[in-house]
Chains A and B, each alone.
Chain A
Amino acid sequence: MKYLYLLWSNLRRKKMRSVLTVLSILVAFMLFAYLGAIRQGFSQGIDVAGLDRLIVRHKVSLIQPLPVAYESRIEQVEGVVDAIHQSWFGGVYQKPTNFFPQMPVEPEEYLAMYPEILLSDDERKAWLATRSGAIAGRGIADRFGWKVGDRIPINATIWTRKGGEQTWEFDLVGIYEGAEQSTDTTLFLFRYDFFDESRQFGQGQVGWYTVRIADPARSAEIAAAVDEVFANSQYETKTEAEGAFVQGFADQIGDVSTIIMAIVAAVFFTILLVAGNTMAYAVRERTNELAVLKALGFTDRGVLGLVLGECALLTAIGGGLGLLFGWLLVGMGDPTNGSLPVFFVPNRVLTAGIALIAVMAFLAGILPALQAQRLQIADALRR
């Protein structure tokens, strides 16, 4: 404890320099937390994909529809517990840049398939009772200021209504919450029966199926069995685990993870050298004082610890504040204005950040600390 005061006095010796060093470390860790959140946003879904869920889509591409009648045939495959269908509506709310997913589904089956979507009993009942009813995630509802009871007009880009009308009006009967922080709360879900009877064309066709299986260990085998059922039919399918499907989608965007990791590495490499050099300079400047300390009876290891401790203190203050500020900045909102389905700093990023603080403190401090340890009193005092 008594050394802490000594460390603190050393840092206060050149206040400006200490503050600037802390600030540059702070910036590095702030970026670390922020980019961690962006990375999470892009790879959303991979972590939360159910191990016991498969996705069935048209073999050639996702944009080609499958018949709604496939549902019961998929459910007959051995090992399948339940199958539901979803479709891509692709509408626009107010203006084209307001992007969020809208999907016609069968309410009860959908909610059973996705237990992470939390809807109150009253809202569930209201949805079942209202043909034009829709539910929205908390994230998207907050973004547009929607409340239960609002009438939401969505302009169709693909699915015009019978008679050529392009605007679909939905009654918002519920707002769902996510069971986890990583649950996507930007979805807008409405009823398939209402959709199917109102659309101008494409009756009886759906986008893709989500399938729940009894035993995740058998997913590859069951996926093959599903594809086998529809082989050589007019609509051949490709079935894969939900995780693989989502991963594939993220890969389509490109290797965002690699790009972000490269930026983080560049930032750290740069800042580590800048901050490390400053700390080394601060120690060199005090060669005399360190020699005095040694003359007073501080051991070599004691001086080593002192210098290392000083670097560690600087890094810990800067890094800790940086992670905190990064976390606060992320809390202020998504820079893409809603293009990312989730935007938060995952705990593992914070943990990794704390580990990085320790590593950085050691790397930045070890050279000047060793120098201080090796210092010969007589030489140093004469300088």
Chain B
Amino acid sequence: MIPYTLRRLWQFVPTLAGVVLLVFFLFNWVGGDPAYLLAGKISNPEQIENIRRQLGVDESYPTQLGIFVKQIATADFGASWATNERVSDIFRTRLGPSLTVLVPLLLISTLLGMAAAMLVAYLRGSLTDRAVMIACTVGQSISILVYILIFQYLLAYRLGWFPVQGWGTTFGENLLRYSALAIIVGVAVSLAPDIRLYRTFLLDEIGQDYVRTARAKGMSEGRVMWVHVLRNAAIPIVTNVLLQLPGLLAGAFLIERFFGIPGIGREVILAVERSDFPVIKAVSVYVAIATMVVNLVADLLYRAIDPRVQLK
């Protein structure tokens, strides 16, 4: 286990190097010149040159790449080009709001999805199963934008149960008052694909020989479903939830933007719009590391749960 982990950690290096090269290449090739953006509409060549020197974009590409690598090694990405806020401060203050929405969202949608998937997998082929599957397909076909607008209009604007958007100062207020509607929308959106996926995982297990054996020796249906099937199906489900997390951190930007939540996703969009390279660099490196770590944890978890799995 430990040699395997060390080997996998060592493999992080080439992947991270690839990420660094790709991000650097993409930014310099398709991104705009940040100096023009910062200088504003009325500017002269000397101002532009000055800003370029301050940002360090007048250096040669190898030098800039070297600085990038040094920044990763010291975990200090300097200050944002747009606001001059320290990148580390940006992440420290934006991570909380993101997690306030994402953690309850993932927990609720996973638990609800598993419960519903257990039900329809158990009743496979019945009217309930088909009705739920059709409802899921319809629900999945509707854009998240429609969910956000309709929920905001009906529940927040018309009925006044939630604030339409905003963010407070205390954790309790944020979680119960401002995140509530965002979490409801997120659950509504992710429930349909979750149920479909988990149903497949559960049906794979229900078709296995050990389930037939368990039933044949007279075990109660409840024990077969809740102990044998659920435990085995939990492996792919947990992996799936884990693998979603790094992507969601930056990917929940639509929810964060519509609900005015000052999270990571919103910051990423702003950074891309402003050509704010320090923030883009930090986000891509952090998300890449998180993705690799989560992958490793998922593989180790597999091994821990299922001793048949051989890690090479």
Task: Indicate, yes or no, whether A interacts with B.
Answer: no
Using a CB–CB distance below 8 Å, which chain A residues touch chain B?
A: none
Interface of B with A (CB < 8 Å)?
none
